[in-house]
Amino acid sequence: MNALFSSPQTAVTPGRRSVRLSARQLLDVELGLFLISQLRPDASPNALPDLLSQVNPGWTTRQHKLRNRGLALLAHLTQYSRWHHLLESYMAAPVELQAYDISRDRSRFGPKTVGFSRNRLTVLRKVLS
């Protein structure tokens, strides 16, 4: 299997389980969350496969452009199981690596407002524009 699309690796140490995401996997999750925040700000983080699979006639030209670019970069995440597995891995990764906070029940999410995560969000914005 292509290393870019491989499963997240789990390292088990006594009493602690940590998940290691590749740089590509981290980018995919955060790009997906950024895309959701731009297309349907009220949606849960689970919404990405639906947003990539459907076109909303009420979207602005900018939103259509974002969705099309997002689909080009994240087409491999249109399967619910793949996106949900990646989200679970992201939530289990060390907090200091995450640019987004996701609620435990995955009903809501939001960008972190401190440190390096702001810079990563700026990069994500530029990737899709």
Instruction: Answer whether residue 44 shows pLDDT above 80.
Output: yes
Looking at residue 11, its pLDDT comes to: 45
Answer with the residue of higher pLDDT: 127 or 117: 127
Rounded to whole angstroms, how far apart are CA atoms 66 and 12?
A: 38
**For residues 79-91, average pLDDT:** 96
At 12, the pLDDT band (50, 70, 90 cuts) reads: very low
Q: Confidence band (pLDDT; 50, 70, 90) for 5?
A: very low
**Cβ proximity of 37 and 63 under 8 Å:** no
Greatest CA separation for the chain: 52
pLDDT value of residue 128: 80
Other beta carbons within 10 Å of 104: 6
Where b means 16+ CB within 10 Å and e means fewer, 50-71 reads ebbeeeeeeeeeebeebbeebb
Sequence-ordered alpha helix ranges (H) in 23-108: 23-39, 48-53, 61-74, 80-92
Q: Which amino acid is at 120?
A: R
Give mean pLDDT, residues 105-118: 82
User: Is residue 18 pLDDT above 80, yes or no?
Assistant: no
Position 82 pLDDT exceeds 90? yes
How far is it, in rounded angstroms, from Cα 36 to Cα 42? 9
Contacts of 69 (CB under 8 A, 6+ apart): 127, 128
To the nearest whole number, what is the mean pLDDT of the chain?
85
Which has the minimum average pLDDT: 4-13, 14-23, 77-86, 90-99? 4-13
pLDDT at 72 over 80: yes
